[in-house]
Structure 1
Amino acid sequence: MSDTTLPRRRTILRAFAMSPMLLLAPMNPAGATGSSSLGSSDFAAGSMGRGGLDTVSEPNWMRDLLDSANPTELSLVGTHDTMAYSATLIGATQDFDLATQLRAGVRVLDIRTRHYRDAFTIHHGIEYLNANYTDVVRTVSDFLRENPSETVLMFMQKAHTEVENTRSYEDTLNWYIHENPDTRDLLAEHLWTPPADYDGAIPDLGEIRGRFVIMRSFDATGVYGPNWRRYKDSQNDWILPSLTEMDTKWEKVRTHFERTAQGSNQTLFINGLNATSGEDLIAIASGVLPMTIAKGVPGIEGILARTEEYLRDTGTGRTGIVMADFPTAELVESVIARNFS
């Protein structure tokens, strides 16, 4: 982290510390509307309730899918800013680590890499998440070795600033794939490599079982995986200036669920449940954070509870990729069930 970022970070942390909503709001929100899998005991446990994701065990739920199934046809849970489970309260987007997410049934990852000193560190914005790309590769490879029926889609993108490098981002990725002794053998076994005649399409499940697929959103001369922008139809309205505008965010989420259910099976539908205040210090001070948007606050139902209710009420139909902050057990199980109904 550069010296110039430190005063701004202190300002944000100071604003958060002075937030009256987060300091004074009861952790057991008896006045909250709607029902959610985040019960009163969860709220008392910390992190405003952890949603029980660690109680779910769906490590090989994809084994019953046909090899001819394509990820664009499926209902999948993804985690937004996957590695931000050890972040500050301002930056946290997950309650549980990567291994727990995968074991629970999460199959889409959002991995944000900072190119720093010819290596990839993992960031959420300016915040280093005490993890590097090697950690991600090891965890995903360990999971796929134990569960060869599964596949993982890994959205990779650049994060924060690139500093103190002697080579390009792509050259560093190639180093991880071909040279780094900590990752090259794991990636040779578990990273899907596009064939010589690759046309850019997202491969069918039978081709990628036991492997993870890089969904590329960075510029490169080489071919590492599908350029997901070519196939996507996404809802990613991630700025929420006030918690009082939760209804607006939810309407966009709900509309995209309906669009997905009726859309082409060749389109990769992505529905972002996540949102934050961005860099608005006033919004941060009033409690607009990934956690409060996902889980709600007294009197304002969060996006997770609304999504759980929607999935219960509608019952069937493809959801596409559901990218979530702090996914709950009910959310994951409900989305997985859509593949078999």
Structure 2
Amino acid sequence: MIPLAPRPPAPARRGGLRVLAAFISLIVAMALAVAAPAAPAWAAGRHSGDLQLASNPDWMSGLPDGASLAALSIPGTHDTMAYQASIISLTQESALPVQLQAGVRMLDIRTRHYRDAFPIHHGAEYLRANFTDVVRSVAAFLAGHPRESVLMRLKQEHTAAENTRSYEQTLNWYINDNPDTRDLLRDHLWRPPAGYDGRIPTLGETRGRIVILQDFGSGHGYGPRWNGDRMDLQDDYQLPTLFHIPQKWNAARAQFEQAGAGAGGILYVNHLSASGGALPKSIAYGALGVKGMNERALTYLATGSVRRTGVVVADFPGPDLVNTIIAHNF
């Protein structure tokens, strides 16, 4: 008789089941996305990620100059430029100018340092845009809406290659030397004052300006440090399976509560986005009977008691979600 293979111990079996469940969840989510790329029924119309249905181009104009940006409720987009991406990387349905017109005021801009320039990436995927495109779009918006301010998380993404200078030197080239961006950034980039200690600036200091949230190493301060001592960040982005959305929502809801009760000088940042065991669109909209992150956040913010949301970073945010976040300022 051939002896039976020994039965693996329980932890190994559970680990294997978790991997299998994550794999199945991803495959099913991809199949759903390919078969039915449109948003589910609840996300039709004003709930969809089509931000052309929202218009809040001047929502900051009525707020006092003395208000810290940290005291505001600000809609943001995760992987802002991933609206022309592959199905795996796709996180937005609307182009950058449409996002800004809708009221989005925090951008997640991820730059690969390649050949002494900044192409925009989501991981290894090039998103058919460059940092110059981002600067032009944001500067054009701010020129037409000079009382608005745009927070820009600037992150070094993927691997650097074929460069003759540092990331910081290339950024300084865009700011000071590149003829396509230097004049735009001279007029529309907020520059920290001498002796800057990392504080979050006021709206009055930054109207008509881009405020860099610095997510890259350098010897110079370009703005508040991402996840620094003036920021409280929730970005639990690793989702084992689609069915772990309630776990992710618990983290987001706790961060909303923190923002509502926390210190006024701290910038609270709350990511609704996640990835791993499901596609970003499935996590945002929901699938297989699981309610998505955007619907959960919209319901909570529309009926809850949170006064300040902080920066809410989302994949496929709909007009109603953007409008609801903005309404918390008033």
Q: Is TM (by shorter chain) over 0.5? A: yes
Counterpart in the other structure of 1:165: 163
Give the corresponding residue for 1:305.
Answer: 295
Do 2:49 and 2:92's aligned partners in 1 also have CA atoms closer than 8 Å? no
SS of residue in 2 equivalent to 1:196? coil
1:221 counterpart residue number: 219
**Counterpart for residue 233 of structure 2:** 234
Matched, 1:269 2:263: no
What's the CA shift string for 1:3-29, capped at 9, x where partnerless?
xxxxxxxxx9xx869954445679675
Equivalence map 1:11-22=2 (5 Å): 19-22=30-33
SS in 1 for 2:121: strand
Cα distance, 1:254 vs structure 2: 1.0
The one-letter amino acid of 2:325's match is V
Show the counterpart of 1:3: none
| Residue of 200, 203, 212 corresponding to 1:205 | 203
Task: Provide Cα deviations, 1:268-288, integer angstroms capped at 9, x if missing partner.
Answer: 1111000001xxxxx4xxxx1
In the alignment, structure 1 residue 53 sits paired with structure 2 residue 51: yes
Structure 1 letter corresponding to 2:213: M
On the 8 A contact 2:149/2:208 being kept in 1, the answer is: yes
2:182 corresponds to: 184
Q: Structure 2 CA distance, aligned partners of 1:328 and 1:322?
A: 12
Residue 87 (str. 1) matches residue 85 (str. 2):
yes
Between the aligned partners of 2:224 and 2:291, the Cα distance in structure 1 is: 36
Q: Contact 2:56–2:101 (CA<8 Å) still a contact in 1?
A: yes
In the TM superposition, residue 245 of structure 1 has moved relative to its aligned partner by: 1.1
**After superposition, what is the alpha-carbon deviation per residue over 1:102-157, rounded to whole angstroms, capped at 9, x for unaligned?**
00000001100000000000000000000000000000000000000000011101
2:245 corresponds in structure 1 to 246
Aligned partner letter, 2:232: D
Q: Could you say what the CA RMSD is over the residues aligned between the two structures, in angstroms?
A: 2.1
Distance 1:63 1:25 in 2: 40
Distance, in Å, in 2 between the alignment partners of 1:148 and 1:64 is 12
Q: Measure the CA separation in 2 of the matches of 1:267 and 1:292.
A: 31
Q: Name the SS for the 1:122 alignment partner.
A: strand
Is 1:69–2:67 an aligned residue pair?
Answer: yes
CA distance in 1, matches of 2:309, 2:55: 21
The residue number in structure 2 matching 1:259 is 258
TM-score, normalized by length of structure 2? 0.88
Q: Which residue of 1 aligns with 2:320?
A: 330
Contact 1:16 1:90 in 2 (8 A): no
Deviation at 1:244, TM superposition (A): 1.1
| Secondary structure of 2:132's aligned partner | helix
Counterpart of 1:66 in 2: which secondary structure?
coil
Size of the aligned set, in residue pairs, is 305
Cα offset for 1:264? Answer: 0.9
Q: 1:177 to 1:255 in 2, by over 3 A?
A: same
Structure 1 moving runs of 4+ over 3 Å: 15-30, 49-52
CA distance in 1, matches of 2:312, 2:148: 18
Matching of residues 9-158 of structure 1 within 5 Å? 19-22=30-33, 36=42, 38-39=43-44, 50-158=48-156
Question: What are structure 2's unaligned runs of at least 5 residues?
Answer: 1-22
Question: Structure 1, residues 288-341: CA drift from partner, whole Å, max 9, x if none?
Answer: 11110001114111000111100111155100010000111011000000001x
Q: Which amino acid aligns with 1:105?
A: G
State the alpha-carbon separation in 1 of the partners of residues 75 and 40 from structure 2: 27
Whether contact under 8 Å (1:25, 1:298) holds in the other structure is: no
CA distance in 2, matches of 1:312, 1:87: 31
Structure 1: 5+ residue stretches without partners:
1-11, 31-35, 43-48, 278-282
Structure 2 letter corresponding to 1:87: A
Distance apart, 1:200 and its partner CA: 2.1
Q: 1:59 to 1:16 in 2, by over 3 A?
A: same
SS of residue paired to 1:326: coil
Bigger radius of gyration: 2
